[in-house]
Amino acid sequence: MGQGTDEAGAIGYAGRPPGAGNRRGQCNTGESGAMTSDFFDLSGKVAVVTGSTKGIGKAIARALAEHGAKVVVSSRKPDLVAEVAGEFQADGLEAIGIPANISHREQIEQLLSETRKAYGKIDILVCNAAVNPYYGSALDIPESAFDKTLDVNIKSNLWLCQQVIPEMRERKDGAIMIVSSIGGLRGNPVIGAYCISKAADMQLARNLAIEFGPDNIRVNCIAPGLVKTDFARALYENPEVAAKRTAGTPLRRLGDPEDIAGIAVYLASKAGSWTTGQTLCIDGGVTAAGEG
């Protein structure tokens, strides 16, 4: 499952000036020294990753940077944003931090505006931030919790896409990923609103992929299974739940955030240039086995 957003933080960006980082994750070369493949090279690309100070978002942001992208780290807490951006920079990666609470449209606009001031463009958008404020029966969910879930997990993703697609259309190139969940593919008795929102994200990706495919904009969903993040801590730290989920997973383990990062690199790169409108389940085989 994706990771959560919190309350609003100050807007701005912290970190090394653009162009000061060193790219890692360059393409492999053979014994002759010739480049063997540039399928996963993201040199010159600029990526914005929401909810990227921990968990899945952080793993995706790091992987994109390691493959050459200039990465904007973002979440609602300025101190964490600066810390993670600084961590990436210390590892020789190109990154800045721009705090934003995506539940506020004006902060989304500021996030993207500050990105363009720093790097000039946005090539890759990863909508990872999400919330799940309620656990329990659908009969008891407060209207405020239902509204918050749909607003942050669906509406904010649409807002983000509305802000970046126009420039992608001008360049005839762009990659957008929405981090959904396998919960969007099945019913659930206790996190129903969250699952509704994640199913809607899958449809949002399909709609945008169809509309903007002619402009060479690829839009896809990544649907993780149970990944060991703070967002899912209540599940995987319960021994019974963890044991049941592990036994029902063909690969016989729960996911780590890094398990989700590779598919994001694929979708952002030349390797994924003919992939759009898809929901890719990265779940250790859970959905294939009919478990979960």
Structure-token pair, residue 144: 């405020």
Compute, in degrees rounded to 10, the torsion defined by CA atoms 262, 267, 268, 270: 110
Structure-token pair, residue 65: 């940077």
266 counts as catalytic: no
Q: What are the Cα distances from residue 126, in Å, to 146, 190, 231, 256?
A: 23, 27, 17, 18
Collapsing DSSP to helix, strand or coil, 134 comes out as coil
Answer for the pair 6, 76: CB distance below 8 angstroms, yes or no: yes
Place of tokens 């904010």: 156
Computed over its alpha carbons, how large is the radius of gyration of the chain? 18
Exactly one of 13, 134, 194, 266 is catalytic; which is it?
194
Catalytic residue list: 194
